[in-house]
Amino acid sequence: MSARMTNSRQSIPAPMSAFQRHALMMAKQQSVAASHGHLLSSLREQGASEFERATWPGRKLEHWKYTSVQALQSNETAVWAAGSSASAECLATQLIPMHATRLVFVDGVLDAAASDTMPEGICLFSQADNLATDVIEANLGKVAGTVDPARRNLFASLNGAWTLDGLLIHVARNVVLEKPVYLVYVSTAQHNVVANLRTLVVLEQGASAQIIEHFLSSEHVSGNNGFVNTLTEIQLGPNAQLHHTRLNLEHEAAIHVGAVHVNLMRDAVLNGFTLSEGSQLKRIDYQLNHCGQGASLSFDGVYLARHDQQVDYHTCIEHRVPNCTSQQVFRGIVGNKAKAVFNGRIHIFEDAQKTLAEMSNRNLLTSNSAEIYTKPELEIYADDVKCAHGATISQLDETALYYLLSRGISPANARTMLSFGFINELLSSLTIEPLRVWLEAWLRNRFSEDRSLVSDIKPATDSGAEP
């Protein structure tokens, strides 16, 4: 009897939060608005069903244990954004100057005036021709759908429930895109608006591309500037090669939950880079699946958090087949009263022999009040593998600081050089030179303008006086 009673209790769904109820109402609004939506109707229905049954994140959920979603929990006033355009000032001061195909989305809606003409293979879901429709139907939801239900992020389900349109990047067999695809997502100062972004990338056999996703805020943001929910699905065919960069550089009031899901088929290569500043709520998940022998990936990440910000990276690399490699390096700098979370998981299946997998997470705390929760995980079921993982939390090396001071460098400049150098070496993996140069300059400015990202360690020979 007690067992039956227990099962009965477990079957009772947890009460929905105010935001869940409101989000489902907004999903119904999307379905009504979808006059052309037969292509996406099943995605919306499945997403809404999953989101309705999902448990709202809290400390009892391991994957959300250290990240608060309080900023969303009681929100019952979120609205879909009205159409707007990116300002000339925003485009001039915040965009990366490079020779690329640039597409600008403002609060989730394409700004055609600020965007380049879409080349062949790139289109909105709503403008898909017969070939593009076939590609979307064959791949949309399939990559994200491979995630273990126990680890599935409820916001990925919400993204599906909210998807009214999306962007397809399809590179045909053996085609090499000559220019990078530069996707710019601008959040404006509209109060409490929602932007739902869905991107599908499909590289067929032997194809090659470079894609940059850049999230930013308009120049006059203050207070709560809304909620951005993003999901990017990437299908890499045999021998395909992709350089994927994701930059989350929004205002610190931003609420952003995002995910990137990638399937790598035989001999596919992924070179990934991500950089994120903290905000009111910043959570980014990466799910990277080796599905074909010989696939390899290299993935570097940087996160910076200060003031009362939080940033949370959850990564999961699954080696499902033999003879694959993965290398993951993340570094973070956390200052003031900010909090950062890094949860990196490597899962090696029983059949994935001859796997080579390495993961490293190093963190620099620049304040006694800053917090970092790092959790590297190895889950190995094969016996012929070579794996390594490690995590460190520290302040700047006192010996290195003393060395610079002894060379006549001021204490302020020495600390800035060491803090900046802690993450700058990861930029060397970027093969797009204008992107690397722009990021280096952006980081230098950030470190020189905000001392909270610079360690305040003071060796015995340092009087603490600043020039």
pLDDT of 336 over the 70 cut: yes
Higher pLDDT, 195 or 394: 195
pLDDT of 315 over the 50 cut: yes
pLDDT of 77 over the 90 cut: no
The pLDDT value recorded for residue 37 is 56
- Span 415-424, average pLDDT: 86
Q: Which of 58-67, 153-162, 189-198 has the lowest mean pLDDT?
A: 189-198
| Of the candidates 299, 268, 298, 293, the residue with the CA atom closest to the CA atom of residue 353 | 293
Residue 286 neighbours by CB under 8 Å, 6+ apart: 259, 260, 261, 262, 272, 274, 299, 313, 314, 315, 316
Reported pTM: 0.92
Interval 228-273: pLDDT, tens: 999 999 999 999 999 999 999 999 999 999 999 999 999 999 999 9
- Span 275-304, average pLDDT: 97
Distance from the Cα of residue 429 to its chain's centroid: 18
Q: Average pLDDT, whole number, for the chain?
A: 89
Band of pLDDT at residue 5, cut at 50, 70 and 90: very low
Most confident of 38-52, 196-210, 224-238, 434-448: 196-210
- Span 386-397, average pLDDT: 89
Band of pLDDT at residue 3, cut at 50, 70 and 90: very low
Band of pLDDT at residue 89, cut at 50, 70 and 90: confident
The pLDDT value recorded for residue 219 is 67
Band of pLDDT at residue 344, cut at 50, 70 and 90: very high
Q: What token pair was written down for 203?
A: 């590289």
Rounded CA separation 245/201 (Å):
13
The pLDDT value recorded for residue 400 is 80
State which H helix or E strand residue 234 sits in.
Answer: strand 227-236
Band of pLDDT at residue 12, cut at 50, 70 and 90: low
pLDDT of 312 over the 70 cut: yes
Band of pLDDT at residue 7, cut at 50, 70 and 90: very low
- Span 384-390, average pLDDT: 95
Interval 151-160: pLDDT, tens: 788 999 999 9
Q: What token pair was written down for 133?
A: 């429709």
Query: Residues of the chain with pLDDT > 90: what percent?
Result: 68
For residues 342 and 332, the answer to whether their CB atoms sit within 8 Å is yes
pLDDT of 59 over the 80 cut: yes
Residue 256 neighbours by CB under 8 Å, 6+ apart: 215, 227, 228, 229, 230, 248, 250, 279, 281, 282, 283, 284
The pLDDT value recorded for residue 309 is 96
CA distances from 399 to 87, 277, 321, 467 (A): 47, 29, 45, 21
The pLDDT value recorded for residue 467 is 38
